[in-house]
Amino acid sequence: MQRSENPWEWPEETWRHIVGRARAGRSLAPTHWPNGAACAVALSFDADHDTIPLRDCDESPMRISQGQYGHRQGMPRIRRLLARHGVRASFFYPAVSALLYPDEIRGVADEGHEIGIHSWIHEANTKLPPGVERDLTLRARDTLEKVSGQTPVGIRTASWDFSVDTMDIIREMGLLYDSSLMADDDPYELEVQGQPSGIVELPPEWIRDDAVYFNMLRFAGLRPYTPPSAVEAIFRAEFEGALAEGGLFLLTMHPHHIGHRSRLVLLDRLIADMKATGKCWFATHAEVAAWCRDHAASNPK
């Protein structure tokens, strides 16, 4: 029976099934953070590099060069900054980025940072033919493991484009966590049609993503109207809220955006100030997910 295109005509079981595919279940906010910390800080970088124009079938050398900037300038600056602060982060790679820059991803892994899955070529999952997302995701995982030497345990879908099939793929792969959905500020367990999945969700948010402030598309109205000082103020306010509530501060950044000279300084200042509180646990996404899974206040007795 064909489903009506009018949502107001759907029977209850239809809309309940839709919202139940990957839904926030029990909170995994922990009883405490390691070493008496009042807040967890999880910094992440989506190393998209050249894959955005490639995904768009855009062969423009200009647009591809913008992605290459992330490799040539953004990543070295970010890696130096993290090393100077003694902070480890999570780097989510499209497989094509890893294949284009194998020495980079190996270096990132060797420095103790986490490597996470971030698509094959930054494809939009919801636009793929049936079955293709699974194939690409499995290939991406295997490629990242082969090139980096590290087995990924987490995924962030490209552009946070979580399709109706993504949850099944994550469960099939036996991943620890996802970081694509936005139902909370703090970690939670994903449910599938009301049943716990065992998958930890580390929720991102657009307001804690540098791309929405710094993106630029020449032939469209997309412009970086927000100055770095305003972005810093937004990120800082989000951190202060997480610290006050004893929660998670998860920040998503991109080397070809945050890696510019005028922008990376805001991250430098923010990390220094977060460290200065003496109340933060800086950890990879995998470490946060494992801690919350094992120390959630809502864990069954």
pLDDT the model gives residue 218? 77
| Whether the predicted pLDDT of 63 surpasses 70 | yes
Q: How far is CA 139 from CA 24, 93, 213, in A?
A: 28, 13, 32
Q: pLDDT per residue over 253-294, tens digit each?
A: 999 999 999 999 999 999 999 999 999 999 999 999 999 999
Judged against a pLDDT cut of 90, whether residue 4 lies above it is answered with no
Give me the mean pLDDT over the 15-29 stretch.
Answer: 97
Rounded CA separation 296/196 (Å): 14
- What pLDDT was estimated at residue 298? 76
pLDDT at 83 over 90: yes
Residue 113's SS3 state is coil
How distant, in Å, are the alpha carbons of 157, 187, 252 from that of 160?
5, 16, 11
Burial class (CB in 10 A: 0-12, 13-18, 19+), 107: middle
Is the per-residue pLDDT at 232 higher than 60?
yes
Residue 152: which of 285, 9, 10, 271 has the closest Cα?
Answer: 285
Helix (H, G, I), strand (E, B) or coil at 160: helix
Mean pLDDT of 79-86: 98
Evaluate if residue 220 carries a pLDDT over 90: no
Q: Is the pLDDT score of 300 beyond 70?
A: no
Q: What's the whole-number average pLDDT of the chain? A: 96
Q: Tell me what percent of the residues of the chain surpass a pLDDT of 70.
A: 99
The predicted structure's pLDDT at residue 216: 84
How confident is the model over 43-66, as a mean pLDDT?
Answer: 96
Model confidence at 1, pLDDT cuts 50, 70, 90, reads low
**Full set of structural domains in the chain with CATH:** 40-295 (3.20.20.370)
Tell me how far apart the alpha carbons of residues 289 and 283 are, in angstroms, rounded to a whole number: 10
- For range 48-56, the mean pLDDT: 97
